[in-house]
Structure 1
Amino acid sequence: MNYCYSELGDDESSFDALSMAISYDEDNYIAQMELGLCYFCGVGTLEDPKEAAHYFYKAAEYDYPNAYYCLGLYYERYVKDNEKARAVYSAGARLGSEECEKQLSMISLPSHNSSVFTKESLKKGLMASAKTLGIIGNATGNVILSGIADGAEGLISSILDEDDL
């Protein structure tokens, strides 16, 4: 029903249709996700990130990977809680969300406000980036990572274990 309204460009009707769909079937996680997007972007209603997060959370309860991505964006951009965003993106990535994997690789390292870069946090960031780029687990990827490690005078190789490649 929402798709028909969105194709016509009637944002308010689309918002109303999604609200009705949820009132008829509160287990409709796709409608919850879509309604969350309406609140997140201000489509058919006023922008309300907190209300959006409520619907993203409800959709995530059904292990809907896209909901984890949007919920992670909420924590990252509105709440400014990268630790919570990382946890949400990690859960979404475990469910197969490529978007969550990409966002996770972008916020895996501590923020610039943090004065400590631990070996483990650097390793996590490198592994997430390499996985996102698809360069782990194949001969070409291993050569690329080795080249990067050599060029950085062993920094990366001191972080990554041999079995990580």
Structure 2
Amino acid sequence: MLLAVAGVGLILAGGTAILTDLTSPSSPGFIAIALLGPTMAAVDVREHRLPDLLTLIWGIIAAIGMTLICAFTNNWTPLASGAIAATITTAAFYTLSILTKAGMGLGDIKLSAVMGLVIGPLGAQTLLAALAGAFICGAICAAIMRLRQPASAELAFGPFLLSATIITGLLTSI
């Protein structure tokens, strides 16, 4: 099963690499999450935890790739925008984790930081649209789960964040 999910990641990463503007500072992060995202989502659904190692790898690839592209173009604004967005999303998700009993976990908070770093250079509206998409899809799935099983278990939120990031990467490159 995990091998099939990894295969989906390879296909998504290849498609993202072909479709993405490789000169965009966000492109390394989008390609990396297209590769790692399906595995991360599968683990989160199965175990209700996001693998820290994969989140860290995604963050490192995104940060190094963004830094190299900013250095090559001598334009550091995208890196600063990404860092600011990462800080804001981390603070927002941390606040949500405090305000909700069984809401956001630490994995979601860490994931939101890298998501902010990657999408932040594309603008606040793009980041807000991606986050809104993740929350709306998560709410719809949670409502459907509640209708089917009123006392249903928790819903993993990582897959919604990961999907929103991948879709944002693909839509902004078209």
Same fold? TM cut 0.5: no
* Greater RCO, 1 or 2 (C-alpha within 8 Å, sep 6+): 2
Q: Look at both structures and tell me which one has the larger radius of gyration over its CA atoms.
A: 1
> TM-score by structure 2 length?
0.28
